[in-house]
Amino acid sequence: MPHEFRVSTHRRCEMIDITTSVRRAIAELGLSEGALVVFVPHTTAGVTIQENADPDVVHDFLMELAKIVPFEDGYRHAEGNSAAHLKTSLVGSSVHLLVERGEPLLGTWQGVYLCEFDGPRTRKVWVKAVGSGVV
Ligand code: ZN
């Protein structure tokens, strides 16, 4: 099984910075050099990498995504959360990270974000090391 951590979300649509949890997972996995897959096993929440310095960036991201995929648009899916399913496919369910000396190689302004589109809920995040350097 992959390493797992959980994230509680608080709104219907929200982006939560999970970089600290990913760093902790790398330490717990004992990964020093290699690569990491961060995977979100849900159909109404995804994961992406985005700027973590200015919170207006994720605000604008969610605002524009809501224009591309309106909450109501004559969808057929009876559960009423088609917009969440569509947004999840747009952002994707996984990201890859490179790891050196036990640290993820991220750009200065990059953070890893869980993207909630049908909250509030508790979401799972799976982390699996790939490649060399796994102790
Ligand atoms: Zn659904």
**Interval 17-52: pLDDT, tens:** 999 999 999 999 999 999 999 999 999 999 999 999
**Residue span of the structural domain in which 59 resides:** 3-130
CATH number where 120 lies: 2.60.120.460
Q: For residue 116, report the distance from its CA to the centre of ligand 1, in Å.
A: 13
Q: For residue 83, report the distance from its CA to the centre of ligand 1, in Å.
A: 9
18: nearest Cα among 116, 132, 119: 116
CB atoms within 10 A of CB 44: 22
pTM recorded for the entire structure: 0.94
Which tokens go with 97? 């990270």
The secondary element (H helix, E strand) that includes residue 35 is strand 34-39
Is 135 a domain residue?
no
Give per-residue pLDDT as tens, 47-77. 999 999 999 999 999 999 999 999 999 999 9
Is 18 a domain residue?
yes
Q: For residue 118, report the distance from its CA to the centre of ligand 1, in Å.
A: 9
Q: For residue 86, report the distance from its CA to the centre of ligand 1, in Å.
A: 10
- Structurally, how many domains does the chain consist of? 1
The dihedral built from the CA positions of residue 101, 102, 104 and 109, taken in this order, carries a sign that is negative
